[in-house]
Amino acid sequence: MRRVVDSWGEMDPFTPQLLEQVLAGATPEGREGERLAALVRELRADLLEEPPADLAMRHVAAMVAAASEAGPDRSRRPTMRTLTPRRAAVLALAAAMTLTGGLAWAGALPPAAQDAVAGVASHLGLDLPSSDDRPEAADHGREVSEVAHDPNLEGCEKGQAVAAVASEPSQAHRQDPSDRRDPCAAQDERGPVGLGQDAGTGAPAQDPGPPEGVPAQPPALGGATHAPGGPRAADGEA
């Protein structure tokens, strides 16, 4: 049996500093350092052994077999063919975006649909507006629609109310309308106002422009403008 020769006398505890020195390969001076170095040396001699050749061969063969089972590119994750929750969310969002034509991005879907699409998108880390933070344009259209369907309004007054609500977002861009005459009163005096004419003056109606938050249609490349659903304006002007 190997023995530590008791030539050191009374033993003091080994300190962490001594251990760090011994593990770094140094043999610290002093009795404690020598004893600790001897202990580490003995532990390594007893336990750190090269595996026998047959055992090493068996282990390496098992490792190679495991590597070949997993495929040649071990850094690549296996293809996910199962329907994982994330994959299902991606498919659902793709379907929703296809069906709604991007309205979800603008937050212009009906509240329930907008919330559903925004919920799916949030699982994927995408930030789509919910029905609570839809842009004003979407709410504006609903308000105009409500006024247009109001059964308490009729005739010129209904038209004026719809026009007022519809043009509300652009009021800030208009000239002071306070000097305009009451078109319904004028109608009473002169009969119906022609379509496309400013009530009272008979001049062409001023384009209220797009509602606030909805950009005007941008010019097409090359300066040509495209009329929706019609021929190019530039085609006729060229």
Partner 1 sequence: MIGDGFDAILAAAQRGDPNALEAIYRELAPGVLGYLRGQRAADPEDLAGEVFVAVVERIGGFRGDERAFRSWVFTIAHHRLADARRRAARRREATVDPRELAPLGPVGDVSEEAMAALGTRWALTALDRLTPDQRDVVLLRILGGLSVEETARVLRKRRGAVKTLQRRALAALARSIEREAVSG
Q: Where on the chain is the footprint of partner 1 (CB under 8 A)?
A: 1-6, 8, 11-16, 19, 23, 35-36, 39-40, 42-51, 55-56, 58-60, 62-64, 66-68, 70-77
CA distance 166 to 173: 14
Q: Which CB atom, from 11 or from 88, has the smaller least distance to partner 1?
A: 11
In the complex, minimum distance from the CB of residue 80 to partner 1, in angstroms, rounded to a whole number: 15
CB nearer to partner 1: give 48 or 221: 48
Q: Minimum CB separation from partner 1 for residue 76, in Å?
A: 7
Nearer Cβ to partner 1, position 16 or 125? 16
**CB 30 to partner 1: min, Å:** 14
Q: How far apart are CA 87 and CA 80, in angstroms?
A: 9
Q: Which is nearer to partner 1, 5 or 112 (CB)?
A: 5
- The CB-of-4 to partner 1 minimum distance in angstroms stands at 5
